[in-house]
Amino acid sequence: MPAKLSVNLNAIAMLRNRRDLPWPSVIGLGRIALAAGAHGLTVHPRPDERHIRRSDLSGIRALVDDEFPQAEFNIEGYPSEEFLQLVERHQPEQVTLVPDDPSQATSDHGWNFAAQAAFLVPIVKRLKKGGFRVSLFADPDPDTVTIARDIGADRIELYTGPYGACHSDSEKAGNELERLGKTADAALAAGLAVNAGHDLVVDNLPPLVRRIPALAEVSIGHGLTADAMEHGMARTVERFLKACGW
């Protein structure tokens, strides 16, 4: 089965937040994305609410439950106590833990699994006890994925930023793609499923899914939102689904 597409709504929310107005509608565009065939919606609520707001979450949860029950809601973020309570309140199907500092503009690195295992183990245990699928944001490093498994994760999400940054350098992109592929191979061999996300676009998705045919899910926000400004949300979701192999 091709990789599922989860549409990250953060960039839409960030544009909305430039004015004290309700548009563009996070819920409305999420609805269009799901109606066009997206498999889920992703949000990353940060403490300063500079894009997704806490008040958005109940509406997104209701959208999935009431209109698209086959879809999934993925909440990602740094696992502070406030974040964990937010997750437990809104019951996403998947929780993606990232090692972000609150001041970061966007996620730009994965967990140091060896150094942060003791921190992550009880958090993952708590989330798993709550019935959530847990994914850990990971740099492309095949030597560390067994630690992610031992921490208790169900999946890793490969940080594809360096790959996406090679948009004008095909040789470097090929090298980054192989790093991602080797990490995915190791993760799959260790019993983990593999997601991917960050700076993925229509052009660089097909090589990624060819190299990692068992890729479970891609979460895409910035590039997809930029594409939607040109093609519209429904057409953009169709373009990204085709790039994933659907």
Residue-level pLDDT at 168? 86
Averaged confidence pLDDT in the chain: 96
> Average pLDDT in the 49-65 region?
97
Encoding tokens for residue 2?
A: 């091709």
What is the CB neighbour count within 10 angstroms for residue 8? 26
Q: Which of 39, 176, 198, 217 is catalytic?
A: 198
β-partners of residue 137 are 157
Number of domains making up the chain: 1
**What number is the average pLDDT over the span 210-225?**
98
pLDDT in tens, 123-144: 999 999 999 999 999 999 999 9
Catalytic residue, candidates 39, 72, 76, 217: 76
Alpha helices in 76-221 (DSSP H): 81-90, 113-129, 145-151, 161-164, 170-189, 205-211
Residue 223 sits at the vertex; the CA angle it makes with 221 and 228, to the nearest 5 degrees, is 90
pLDDT tens-place string over residues 71-103: 999 999 999 999 999 999 999 999 999 997 766
The amino acid that residue 183 corresponds to is T
Q: Is 76 a catalytic residue?
A: yes
Which position has the higher pLDDT, 167 or 122? 122
Contact at 8 Å (CB) between 239 and 37? no
Print the domain residue range for 100.
4-244
Is residue 43 within 8 Å of 220, Cβ to Cβ?
A: no
Residue 203, domain CATH: 3.20.20.70
If pLDDT is split at 50, 70 and 90, which confidence band does 43 have? very high
Among residues 44, 51, 157, 176, the one annotated as catalytic is 44
pLDDT recorded at residue 241: 98
For residue 61, name the pLDDT band (cuts at 50, 70, 90).
very high
Among candidate residues 67, 71, 65, 61, the one with its CA nearest the CA of residue 37: 71
Q: What mean pLDDT do residues 209-238 have?
A: 98
Say whether 39 is catalytic: no
Specify the pLDDT at position 102.
64
Please report the pLDDT score of residue 107 as a whole number.
Answer: 63
Bridge pairing between strands 217-220 and 4-8: parallel
Nearest to 240 by CA among 1, 33, 17: 33
Mean pLDDT, to the nearest integer, of 202-231? 98
CA distance 68 to 47: 28
Tell me if residue 109 is catalytic. no
Structure token digits, residue 233: 């949300």
- Say whether pLDDT at 105 is over 80: no
pLDDT class of 243 with cuts at 50, 70, 90: very high
Strands annotated E in the chain? 4-8, 40-43, 72-77, 94-97, 133-138, 155-159, 193-197, 217-220
pTM: 0.96
